[in-house]
Structure 1
Amino acid sequence: MDGCGEGSGTNRMMMEKLSLACDRLLSHLQLACCPSHCASPLQGKDLLIHSLLDPELKALRLTGHHGDISAMVFGTGRDPLLLCSASADYVIVWDIRLCYRRTREGVVASGTVIGTLLGKVVHLSFCPCDERVAACSGDKVYILNSKIEDVLSVLAGHLGPLTAAEFCPWNKDILVSISEDRTFKVWGLKTEEILYQSAILSASPLLSVLFLEKSRQLVTGSADGQVWSFTLPEDHRCHLVTKLDLHKVQQRHQRHLDTVVPQTGGVIGITPDPVETAKPVLRICAYHRRLPDIDHGQQSDNSWVWMGSSDGLYLVDLGTSELQMTLLFRDHPNVSITMAGSWAMSQGLDNSMIFVVTSLFEALLSVLEVRLLGSGSVDDLCQHLEGISVMPSAPLMAESPLTAELKKKDPKPPTKTGSDKCGVKEQPLVFHTQVKSSGYTQSPRMTMFSPKTNVQKKTPGPTKTNKKIGCLFSDYPGDTAAPSVPHTNLSTVKTPTPVCCFQYSGDGKQILCGLGDRSVLLYKSSLTGSPAVYTGHDKPVSSVDWSHSRQWWLSASEDRTLRIWPTGSPEPAVTMGGDEKFSKPIRGAQFYYLDKFLLLASGPSLHLYLYHLDNTRDDIKRYRQRSTIKLTRCLETKSGTDITAVSAINDFYSYIVLVCGADRSIQVLDMNTGTVASQLPDAHSRAVHHITQNKGSMFCSQTSDSYNLFLTSAVTDGVKLWDLRTLRCVRRYENHLNRCHPCTAAFSPCGRFIASGSEDNCAYVYDVRSSSYLHKLQRHSDTILNVTFNPATPEVQEEMLDLI
């Protein structure tokens, strides 16, 4: 065996520290590496240990096996550092420090035999405390004592040969095994029983398995490039959190690079793959980033994992299902291997990773070191982009659309008539507001008088002032658990009618429901009593919104009209739109900039209106509308695509408006300048049908950075959590079912939880910091389309597709 080091390229992203020409093919063998050493077979039966910290130190050769070595692994501890190797005859544990000392003394180094004649062992793993070793041979897992020769237990249950088995890092009595039968099993080592057995996950065998300790998740990958992430709770009932295809994720990553790199001027040595090849997930390893200054909790959840495939390395964020970096062999000609057969991975020092890789078709072995600091990854490129925030960082410009004001017309002086001279004023013939109806059209009363009897005196209750004060000073509980207990169930109408939209008022006392039967219902938040019914639209109501002052609310419909209603009035103060106003239906409408503007989207245009509302009417000239509306600015999307969803904050002054297009893009509009500040193409695999921002509540305070988070929903693509400052997805939620209906999502007022509708007749409540759901709100009979949180109390409201 000949060794050669890579003398140059210290500034490269992926550096080859060691290259070995072996005497035989080592593909599909489990190799071993740790931050300080790496191990490889020598002449089939011996072990060769290389020091990574001291390249000048002579390699350590260990002998003891009589058959060809098929698997090896380092222990989890550093003192002493243990190495376990296996062949068909023996399973041996070596103390590396003791072996170095005996070699220096001229004594043959030896290990401890812990297993004999177990067959061909394809995978080895130590428990977290290095007391036990799991050896996979055939369709069985042998649990061995790491100090003496003792078979503690034998686990059998798979229908095909095993490929790997790993101990649970937070529970040493739990082991997970994967097999060529395309399933994984969770074993209880105390009882030697199967605690959980998965269904068949793929058409190809499962090859790799990994535990993520912080998120308590189990990750497994298959030979066809599929990756699954499951929760592993205390009851061992695993739930699917994330599923991704490595090839599709790479294609999406390449499209994102094509848009980011031209904006930043960066260069990444990645060329498109002309041939579509299979990407087997040969090995998975967690990557714990050591970032010194983190002001946002979403970046420190350690959900990044390295995946070794046949064509290179992939750094994937399981929290977002996004590819962070791709290191392919064809883009690094300094690496001697062009196609990988097996991988061994270990986290090094200073954000570095150590990889041992063997060639698939050649007798070659390489030791690679990857450093990510200043590497030119997507995150590094995004750091050069100008930061965008919901909170204004500059005063309004003089030419800003937000400085527009509505000029009121001066009232004309009254003209004098002949009747004015004689002191007699003309009055309307009938005063409808002062004269009661004569009652000619009513049915005659049969009972003239019926006295009230048994009248009880009412005890004086709390005054309205006390109620208001109590409501204003009752803060939203910031440390409460997510809602999980059903409180009220209400049927809105007798016939099945979809609830298209609904929203709480800012004080949490009232709730608006826009229905598919063209009406709007106004309920009390307790959902008691009969609702107020508002009609007038000719098609289903698509959106409703409360003003910040709660004196007005608006409704938009598929009939291309928008109506603004005074609170408590049966007639709208403003009716705008129609076929002559908007050529396409209104996809989003709301009050904006502390009720100064109206914001609505129709087709590819975003309209900004100034308005003055006056709900007084002349009893004679009732057709005359005294309210005034003026178009201030009309902004078009860059690509000219239709707008599918829009969001802006009205509770405080903010220049940012988020717009989603039918081309799957998200555009950030700066209304201070009236331009598109940033654009993110291909945000989802489908067009975004819902977007909402973390708007908080008047009853709860959050940090200013929290308001930069927003959610998007798309059919078949789950819910994504984004950070506006980097315009990067920081979390993805896809436990709920969303295949055809436009299910929405919502933030809790405290910003700690997210709720989403689902097509399995349930509403899902997620923790913002984790991709797995907390609660599954059931007891529904149809698809949950809309969800929202009460801004005053920890309650979540869900609306079904068909309410009966």
Structure 2
Amino acid sequence: MDDCGESRDESNIMVEKLSLSYDRPMSHLQLACCPTHCAVPLQGKDLLLHSLVDSEQTMQLTGHHGNISAMVFGTGRNPLLLCSASADYVIVWDVQRCYSRTRAGIVASGTVIGTLLGKVVHLSFSAGDERLAACSGDKVYILSSKIEDTLSVLAGHLAPLTAAEFCPWKTDVLVSISEDRTFKVWGVEKEEIIYESAVLSASPLLSVSFLLKTRQLVTGSADGQVWSFTFPEDLRCNLVTRLDLHKVMERHQRQLNKMSPQTVGVTGITPDTVETTKPVLRICAYHRQLELERANSWVWIGCSDGLYLLDLATSELHKALFLRDYPNLSITMAGSWAMCHGSGNTMILLLTSLFETQMSVLELSLPVSGTVDDLCQHLDRLSVLPSGPLMSGSPLNAELKKKDPNRRKKTGSDKCAVKEPPLVFHTKVKSSGYLESPRMTMFSPKTNVQKKTERSTKTNMKRRSVFSDYPEDTAAPSVPHTCLSTTKTPTPVFCCQYSGDGKQILCGLGDRSVLLYNSSLTGTSAVYTGHDKAVSIVSWSHGRQWWLSASEDRTFRIWTGGSSVPVLTLGGTDKFFKPIQAAQFYYLDKFLLMASGPSLHLYLYHLDNTQDDIKRYQPRSCAKLTGHFSMESGTDITAVSAINDFYSYVVLMCGADRSIQVLDMNTGAVASQLPNAHSRAIHHVTQNKGSMFSSQTPDSYNLFLSSAVTDAVKLWDLRTLRCVRRFENHVNRCHPCTAAFSPCGRFIASGSEDNCAYMYDVRSSSYLRKLQRHSDTVLNVTFNPATPELLTGTLDGKLSLFRPGNTAEGVSLP
């Protein structure tokens, strides 16, 4: 069964290899399986060891006096160890040695490593199989796997434990979970608690696992909640992802219904008639043979109704295998799971029935290629970089016809009338001279002219060498360098942007003004006024000669430095019936993009800032509408992103219906659409544009970010329109906080409502730095395209500049 739209005739995906019946229920016992063997209790006190390689090879192990409550295989394969626990003994069995003794006619025996520990509910081997953790009551007993020796006892939970696991890359660190709904990180050698979490849920924690690739800790509860935490060197865990399996399942079902409504009921995801909880009984990391790096955050979740394949980096459900959809299976509701990777691209599953006395061994076979990528097979391989020339009918071929100033309009009387010469042969009116002082000298030679020498040429060469490449190996900006208030009274900084050379900064404020700073935030800022409401958008042109501002008064204006009067003004309440949501230069300053309501407008424009003394009332700048595009659903556009630093045909449009549309401006049509990209309407979208000082791989430019209130920042791949990572450590509940790519493409910055800015690594969902000491909500973040600097703007009108720790000394922010 594949959720991507394949036929339902996939009964061979999960095949039952073995089925056993018992005289007593074993719904909540810890089972054991490995790629070659599985172990289950037999008649309560004995062990049945079944070979998965040779189905006829079985072995019965005896030695316990009480009922077996937990089993686990070791991490190694030579020798292969099996541990079983009951209320009286904890025994370690050498599987190869037991087979040899049985073939020789000798009773197989194991090594008792623990006695009278109570009911053991969970066992776990350390890396290397040197130590064993046994959970009994509210204590964890650390035992030696070779002799009967209790190395340490870990006590600190307030309720009985449910599981404990050793860290694979730190063998002296153990994590335990309990019915008190917390987890603890232990230092085994010193028997101390290194980290203790808060209460995570209203239900007990049932399972815990480690992800070796991403160095993360994953745990799940009885009410279907899944948490993913970072596990750094200092062992101070930070939350990365929190999921509700029931909500994830509902969201995934809605996406399938919208993308392929004809496959509803055929993909195997049949809607539940009764809402039930999905207890997380088992978590197992999943690594495909192909694309290991891409699948390093995938986990299998074993629940009572089936299996779920989740990508923790994106919080997306890729596959759901319900036991009820496979009539050949003897179990429809699971009480416990055991999982391991088999040969090839298979999984070995061992499960018990929740209500019956049944046990089954399943083999899960997945196709090697394309299991979760089939959803994107119908999409053309989109790319930000153009793959071909412009089409003849492309909207981007439009040109603006400029008026000839010397050409006079023809009238009907021009054919017979005699052309009269103009009375005035100049365009400027000279002064009468009454206000000028009398001239004392008729001619004064220029004596201060400097000749061009070789020295001045060298100076110019030095000035040119000031522009250096963006350092690709620098650390993320995290040290506060400068902080200033834009106004005397608190005023929100709704938008800010660096110029292409990184020398100037534009800031749009809530007091209807635009401020122009230098990149170091020193000196006096230039103030530009003219809007009637708050300025929500500012944007530089590629040539850095012009810049535009858009406001809630439904106008956008184009300015030039040194002039307090806009060169061009477009819009108004009579032209746009809804506020302007996006405005920017496009296609290397050839066009203007503007979004208002459900429409995206494409303008050709001509800018002329010269003035005529006689015809001052006639503007010389003009704009012409050449394209008009709308969302397919007719909903309002909430955010737009397009690249102006190089030629690109791709324009991203986000709608109020939570969808993202990819507009191909070469054809003038929607190339692809992604419904339900977020749980709320997207308020910000931005692409990885790089900068003129930094170069990236061509595939890196296909990444883009989207942000929505009460949802995370998502990283998307344009080629497949799939979410490849999710960043949700920041807080965004009501304000439109933005996110930005660094020019090198390695970092992502995001604003937050907890008076902090968060710095993420593109390759990891956990944050690198938490930039604190802001005085209010951080609304805007932007990177300097020339140097490793981050600029933040807050709700109370303060700008803060951050630099890497190795290049700037930190100063305290007010």
Common fold, TM-score beyond 0.5? Answer: yes
1:189 aligned partner: 188
Partner Cα distance (1:235, 1:436) in 2? 82
Q: CA deviation at 1:621?
A: 2.6
- Which of 651, 656, 661 aligns to 2:655? It is 661
1:229 aligned partner: 228
Q: CA deviation at 1:330?
A: 1.7
What does 1:10-25 align with in structure 2 at a 5 Å threshold?
12-25=12-25
Choose 355-364 or 254-263, whichever is displaced more. Answer: 254-263
Instruction: Tell me whether 1:358 sits opposite 2:357 in the alignment.
Output: no
Q: Which amino acid aligns with 2:158?
A: L
SS of residue in 1 equivalent to 2:53: coil
- Where structure 1 has 5 or more consecutive residues not aligned to the other structure, the ranges are 1-8, 440-459
Instruction: Tell me whether 1:497 sits opposite 2:496 in the alignment.
Output: no
2:28 aligned partner: 28
Q: Which amino acid aligns with 1:746?
A: A
Higher normalized contact order (CA 8 Å, seq sep 6+, divided by chain length) = 2
Q: CA deviation at 1:593?
A: 0.8
Distance 1:263-1:692 versus aligned 2 partners, 3 A rule = farther
Distance 1:63-1:749 versus aligned 2 partners, 3 A rule = same
SS of residue in 2 equivalent to 1:544: strand
Choose 325-334 or 338-347, whichever is displaced more. Answer: 325-334
Query: Is the CA contact 1:550–1:567 (under 8 Å) kept in the aligned structure 2?
Result: no
1:541 aligned partner: 535
Distance 1:668-1:263 versus aligned 2 partners, 3 A rule = farther
Distance 1:516-1:108 versus aligned 2 partners, 3 A rule = same
What does 1:719-738 align with in structure 2 at a 5 Å threshold?
719-738=713-732
Distance 1:421-1:694 versus aligned 2 partners, 3 A rule = closer
Q: Which amino acid aligns with 2:211?
A: L
Partner Cα distance (1:650, 1:255) in 2? 35
Q: Deviations over 1:648-674 (max 9, x none)?
A: 111111111101111111111111111
2:765 aligned partner: 771
Q: Deviations over 1:25-74 (max 9, x none)?
A: 1100000011111111100011111111222x321111111110000000
Query: Is the CA contact 1:503–1:788 (under 8 Å) kept in the aligned structure 2?
Result: yes
Distance 1:189-1:435 versus aligned 2 partners, 3 A rule = farther
SS of residue in 1 equivalent to 2:479: coil
Distance 1:46-1:462 versus aligned 2 partners, 3 A rule = farther
Partner Cα distance (1:24, 1:471) in 2? 80
Q: Identity percentage over the alignment? A: 74
Q: Which amino acid aligns with 1:710?
A: F
Query: Is the CA contact 2:336–2:351 (under 8 Å) kept in the aligned structure 1?
Result: yes
SS of residue in 2 equivalent to 1:103: helix
Query: Is the CA contact 2:331–2:352 (under 8 Å) kept in the aligned structure 1?
Result: yes
Instruction: Tell me whether 1:321 sits opposite 2:320 in the alignment.
Output: no
Partner Cα distance (1:657, 1:53) in 2? 55
What is the TM-score with the length of structure 2 in the denominator? 0.91
Partner Cα distance (1:676, 1:258) in 2? 21
Distance 1:421-1:684 versus aligned 2 partners, 3 A rule = closer
What is the TM-score with the length of structure 1 in the denominator? 0.92
SS of residue in 2 equivalent to 1:238: coil
Partner Cα distance (1:340, 1:436) in 2? 102
Query: Is the CA contact 1:374–1:380 (under 8 Å) kept in the aligned structure 2?
Result: no
Distance 1:97-1:730 versus aligned 2 partners, 3 A rule = same
What does 1:470-485 align with in structure 2 at a 5 Å threshold?
470-472=465-467, 474-485=468-479
Distance 1:435-1:333 versus aligned 2 partners, 3 A rule = farther
Choose 318-327 or 266-275, whichever is displaced more. Answer: 266-275
Partner Cα distance (2:370, 2:302) in 1? 20
Distance 1:186-1:585 versus aligned 2 partners, 3 A rule = same
Q: Which amino acid aligns with 1:127?
A: S
- Which of 526, 537, 561 aligns to 2:520? It is 526
Q: Deviations over 1:619-670 (max 9, x none)?
A: 2332211112111111110111111100011111111110111111111111
Partner Cα distance (1:396, 1:14) in 2? 50
Q: Which amino acid aligns with 1:336?
A: S
Partner Cα distance (2:729, 2:547) in 1? 34
Q: CA deviation at 1:409?
A: 3.0
Distance 1:616-1:35 versus aligned 2 partners, 3 A rule = same
Instruction: Tell me whether 1:349 sits opposite 2:343 in the alignment.
Output: yes
Q: Deviations over 1:364-408 (max 9, x none)?
A: 111112222169854223134221111122222111111111122
Partner Cα distance (2:429, 2:693) in 1? 51
2:271 aligned partner: 272
Q: Which amino acid aligns with 2:50?
A: H
Partner Cα distance (2:76, 2:124) in 1? 13
Partner Cα distance (2:734, 2:218) in 1? 28
Distance 1:649-1:128 versus aligned 2 partners, 3 A rule = same
SS of residue in 2 equivalent to 1:465: helix
1:132 aligned partner: 131
Q: Deviations over 1:523-570 (max 9, x none)?
A: 111111111111100011111111111111111111000101123322
Distance 1:424-1:675 versus aligned 2 partners, 3 A rule = closer
Distance 1:777-1:365 versus aligned 2 partners, 3 A rule = same
Q: CA deviation at 1:270?
A: 1.9
Partner Cα distance (2:395, 2:323) in 1? 52
Q: Which amino acid aligns with 1:547?
A: S
Instruction: Tell me whether 1:330 sits opposite 2:324 in the alignment.
Output: yes
Q: CA deviation at 1:342?
A: 0.3
Q: CA deviation at 1:483?
A: 0.9
1:385 aligned partner: 379
Distance 1:462-1:349 versus aligned 2 partners, 3 A rule = farther
Q: Which amino acid aligns with 1:604?
A: P
1:157 aligned partner: 156
Q: CA deviation at 1:691?
A: 0.4
Instruction: Tell me whether 1:792 sits opposite 2:791 in the alignment.
Output: no
- Where structure 2 has 5 or more consecutive residues not aligned to the other structure, the ranges are 1-8, 438-454, 799-814
Q: Deviations over 1:727-781 (max 9, x none)?
A: 0100000111111111100000000000001111111100000011111111211
2:460 aligned partner: 465
Distance 1:96-1:719 versus aligned 2 partners, 3 A rule = same
Q: CA deviation at 1:466?
A: 3.5
Query: Is the CA contact 1:644–1:689 (under 8 Å) kept in the aligned structure 2?
Result: yes
Query: Is the CA contact 2:427–2:614 (under 8 Å) kept in the aligned structure 1?
Result: no
Partner Cα distance (1:149, 1:231) in 2? 35
1:122 aligned partner: 121
Distance 1:789-1:349 versus aligned 2 partners, 3 A rule = same
Q: Which amino acid aligns with 2:677?
A: A
Q: Which amino acid aligns with 2:23?
A: D
Query: Is the CA contact 2:379–2:672 (under 8 Å) kept in the aligned structure 1?
Result: no
1:37 aligned partner: 37
SS of residue in 2 equivalent to 1:203: coil
Q: CA deviation at 1:358?
A: 0.5
Partner Cα distance (1:436, 1:791) in 2? 53
Q: CA deviation at 1:268?
A: 2.1
What does 1:403-802 align with in structure 2 at a 5 Å threshold?
403-413=397-407, 425=425, 429=429, 465-466=460-461, 468-472=463-467, 474-802=468-796
SS of residue in 1 equivalent to 2:255: helix
SS of residue in 2 equivalent to 1:172: coil
Partner Cα distance (1:176, 1:765) in 2? 27
SS of residue in 2 equivalent to 1:489: strand
What does 1:295-310 align with in structure 2 at a 5 Å threshold?
299-300=294-295, 302-310=296-304
1:51 aligned partner: 51
Q: CA deviation at 1:422?
A: 9.6
Q: Which amino acid aligns with 2:564?
A: P
Q: CA deviation at 1:23?
A: 2.4
Q: Deviations over 1:703-743 (max 9, x none)?
A: 10000000011111120000011101000001111111111
Q: Deviations over 1:582-640 (max 9, x none)?
A: 11010011111111110111001011111111111222332211112111111110111
Partner Cα distance (1:377, 1:556) in 2? 46
Q: CA deviation at 1:425?
A: 3.4
The count of aligned residue pairs is 767
Query: Is the CA contact 1:217–1:230 (under 8 Å) kept in the aligned structure 2?
Result: yes
Partner Cα distance (1:711, 1:608) in 2? 23
Q: Which amino acid aligns with 1:486?
A: P
Partner Cα distance (2:333, 2:503) in 1? 64
Query: Is the CA contact 2:753–2:778 (under 8 Å) kept in the aligned structure 1?
Result: yes
Distance 1:462-1:717 versus aligned 2 partners, 3 A rule = farther
Partner Cα distance (1:107, 1:435) in 2? 126
